Copies of this chain bind each other. A is one copy, B any other.
Amino acid sequence: MLRHKLLTLFCSLVLVHAEYTFETKWFEVPLDHFSYQRSETFKIKYLVNDTYWDSGNGPIFFYTGNEGQIEVFTQHTGFMWDIAREFNAKLVFAEHRYYGSSMPFGNKSLDREHIGYLTSAQALADYADLVNHLQGDQIKPQYPVIAFGGSYGGMLSAYFRIKYPHVVAGAIAASAPVHMFPGMAPCEAYHRIVTSSYNIANANCVANIRLGWPTIRNFTKSANETAWLEKEWNLCHPIKNSSDVDTLVGFVQFVYETTAMVNYPFPSDFLRPLPAQPVRVACQYLAEPLKGKELLTAIGKVLDMYTNYDHKSKCMDYQSGGDYGNLDAAGWDYQACTEMVMPMCTTGEYDMFEPSPWNFTSFSEDCHKKYGVYPHPEAARIEYGGDRLQAASNIVFSNGLLDPWAGGGILNSISDSVKAVVIINAAHHLDLMPQNDADTEPVKMARDCHKKNIRRWIRQFHGQPTEGRDYRC
């Protein structure tokens, strides 16, 4: 359960930049692009900034919105804003159907009888129609369009180029786990990377986290120690039964995982604010071999760092499953239950968590109970190709090696124009964030590669000769 909820978090940085101003627009799309059985239409939201646009033939930078309000991605994809002037680009951020305000059936959109048109293919078809509109509905459009996206948005930007290469000239796909599908990546990859992130910070940290699980379970067997823990961790809800214990354990795991995902070198205003290098901060509390109450006290400090860094939280709501802010957990949970089937497991051996195998059968039954649908584990592979992208072109897959989602990313270039850019010591789509004084050379180099590739794609679109390749990009 938590594992599925977790997925909703996989693109969640909110860096609000007041200077990012935009016009809010709406575009009408068919409910169903692929049949003519239903004729309803609805409107998706998109945000536009054309301050720097050369409307003669400047490019359109198009963010393929993912699982949340488009404002979230608009505000946190600083890289697009940073380079708009240099490219004389128009910026467009399109909201994904069934998220934010782009609801086909208003507040009933996520009801079982309406949610079925929430698919990536329909979203991509929305984007293709919108790009066609932005290009003036021309047979031969004059504006090259470059797709950008991070996380699920990165998957969409890559898929957009794969399925609509006549619509977008190229795609920057940051931290896109396009391999995180059955049979393509080991199910433990995500948690293995989480663990290695903590291990880099401090080997004792991993040992302590590992010992934390039996310690929590032991303490919660006795009423006294449970009461102590509830007080020590300032829990909002008492621990009444073994189900609550499982929820608590799941929440602690979620905190470790999410902290690893957003382990940025600068303080970031996450769903909750976090310090710079939060994994290192967490591991400072767990730097010495600990056990018993000392261990739990230290873990409590990690949880407090994650949930209460701004000191605004009254208590720790371990039953919340995490705070998703502007991201729409429900929509993504449905997508994970239909086409975006991403197996996850823990082994306890290659990672620091309690072992939990991937069980497709129970996952599938759970989906059926919730939504009346069974997942299609092969859907994304057949529709988008998995790792068989030899025939694709003009895509950069970038991945930070400290990002757990890199476990499902493309880390080796597939061809001369489907390139992998790997960023050591970087977390989840760091390269899409605005430039920052704390930026390391690798992330600067990645952004430099993106610009070189974008420039190449634009020249290609205009039929201009392209320079020799930078061997690093």
Contacts and interface: CB of A to CB of B under 8 A. Distances in A.
A116 B389 contact: no
A373 B36 CA distance: 7
Nearest to A384: B166
Contacts of A125: 383
Contacts of A381: 139
Contacts of A394: 391
A138 to B, nearest CB: 9
B139 A35 contact: no
B128 A382 contact: yes
Given A117-B35, A121-B34, A139 B183 contact: yes
A37 interface: yes
Contacts of A129: 382
A122 interface: yes
Contacts of A265: none
B37 A137 contact: no
A163 interface: yes
Interface string A379-398: 00111111111111110000
Nearest to A167: B382
B36 A385 contact: no
A338 interface: yes
B122 A35 contact: yes
Contacts of A382: 128-129, 132, 164, 167
A396 B224 CA distance: 77
B163 A386 contact: no
Contacts of A308: none
Contacts of A311: none
A119 interface: yes
A340 to B, nearest CB: 12
Contacts of A140: 388
A313 interface: no
Nearest to A183: B139
A310 interface: no
B166 A163 contact: no
Contacts of A164: 382, 385
Contact of A137 (B36, B371, B378): B378
Interface string A128-149: 1100100001011000000000
B32 A34 contact: yes
Contacts of A320: none
A125 B125 CA distance: 15
Contacts of A167: 382, 385
A321 interface: no
Contacts of A36: 115-116, 118-119, 338, 371, 373
Contacts of A386: 139, 166
Contacts of A373: 36, 39
Interface string A346-388: 0000000000000000000000000101000010011111111
A314 interface: no
Interface in A173-218: 183-184
A34 B122 contact: yes
Contact of A385 (B115, B118, B165): B165
A33 interface: yes
A393 B390 CA distance: 10
Interface in A435-461: none
A387 B165 CA distance: 12
B165 A392 contact: yes
A166 B137 CA distance: 29
A312 interface: no
26 contacts: A32-B34, A32-B35, A34-B119, A34-B121, A34-B122, A35-B116, A35-B119, A35-B122, A36-B115, A36-B118, A36-B373, A37-B116, A39-B373, A128-B382, A128-B383, A137-B378, A139-B381, A139-B387, A140-B388, A163-B163, A164-B382, A165-B385, A165-B391, A166-B385, A166-B388, A391-B393
Q: Report, nearest first, the 3 A-B pairs whose CB atoms are least far apart.
A: A37-B116, A166-B385, A165-B391
Given A36-B338, A128-B382, 12 more contacts: A32-B34, A34-B34, A34-B121, A36-B115, A36-B116, A36-B373, A38-B116, A132-B378, A137-B378, A139-B184, A139-B386, A166-B391
